[in-house]
Amino acid sequence: MKISKKTLSIILFVLAGICVLAAVILLVKGRIEDRRMEEALDELRPTQSVETTQAPSTVEGEPTVTASPEPSTEKTPASTEEFERVANPYSDSFLANKDMAAWLQIPGTNIDYPVMWTPEDETYYLYRAFDGSENKNGCLLLDDESCVDPLTTNLIIHGHNMKSGAMFGNLTDYENQDFYKEHKNIILYTEECQRNYEIIAVFRSQVYRKTDQVFKFYKFFQADTQEEFDDFYNNIKQLSQYDTGVTAEFGDHFLTLSTCVYHVEQGRFVVVAKEVEPGDYYLPIQE
């Protein structure tokens, strides 16, 4: 049976309408999901702004040098009892979900999220919200080979590069050096203390094949020797898109933020920060 041009036009019009309707439904569904996620996170965030104890930023052109002649398992004072302990502003969040390893915040940006750690199943929160419900944004994930306590040399946090700007959707803003200059500092709130970091390198990389004999930033977690430290440090400085003027020495600790980008297959955009002086130390969280 031959279909007339008029009938074919009607069929194509209906199909196009169905496609548009489906796209609108998905868009609305996505926005509702985003709003619900933000509302849930707002309930977790402290009702009052957290007063951060931050080490001063590096003066441009002057490197930051932290004397640390010997490697340490954790960069803390000889005795944290020297410091007055205060209540943890994220205690309710730690109590609400034992999988939360820390809370990540980059002042002046929308990056203000819990960081989940499930070493037995690293991808559990890849597409789940803080409460475990399905959510396309997922959560920020601490790599299963990183550890907050005891602290590994490098903490790697992964997050989706969402078009909405959620999670690490705006992390690539650091490709703009002017943006970096205004947002040099990163804060990680753990159960024990507020850890302050200053960005040391910004670069693009990728996930390589196992057989590729190249520098793999995502394989560095612990530096027990000067050689292991130097290999990571020298490579991130060489890869960095611009010179931050920040340096590091054996014994320092790093925080690495990683998200997907698409300049190559399995591309990654990476921001590495060095730990500087810690902020407040917290009282034990009481259930």
Query: pLDDT tens digits for 16-33?
Result: 777 766 666 555 556 666
Q: Is residue 59 pLDDT above 50, yes or no?
A: no
For residue 220, report the phi and psi dihedrals to the nearest 5 degrees.
-100, 115
Between residues 217 and 49, which one has the greater pLDDT?
217
**Given CA atoms 112, 53, 118, 154 in this order, what sign does their dihedral have?**
positive
DSSP string of 38-91?
A: HHHHHHHS-SS------PPPPPTTS-------S--SS---S-GGGS-EE--TTH
pLDDT of 121 over the 70 cut: yes
Return the structure tokens found at 157.
């946090």
* Sign of the CA dihedral with 241 first, then 68, 53, and 151 last: positive
- By DSSP bridging, strand 254-261 and strand 267-275 are antiparallel
| Residues 88-111: tens digit of each pLDDT | 999 999 999 999 999 999 999 999
Kindly state the average pLDDT of the residues 51-59.
Answer: 49
CA distances from 141 to 15, 124, 168, 196, 251 (A): 40, 9, 11, 19, 24
Per-residue confidence (pLDDT) for residue 81, from 0 to 100: 55
Q: What is the pLDDT of residue 286?
A: 87
C-alpha to C-alpha distance for 283 and 213, rounded to whole angstroms: 45
- Percent of the chain clearing pLDDT 90 (strictly above): 69
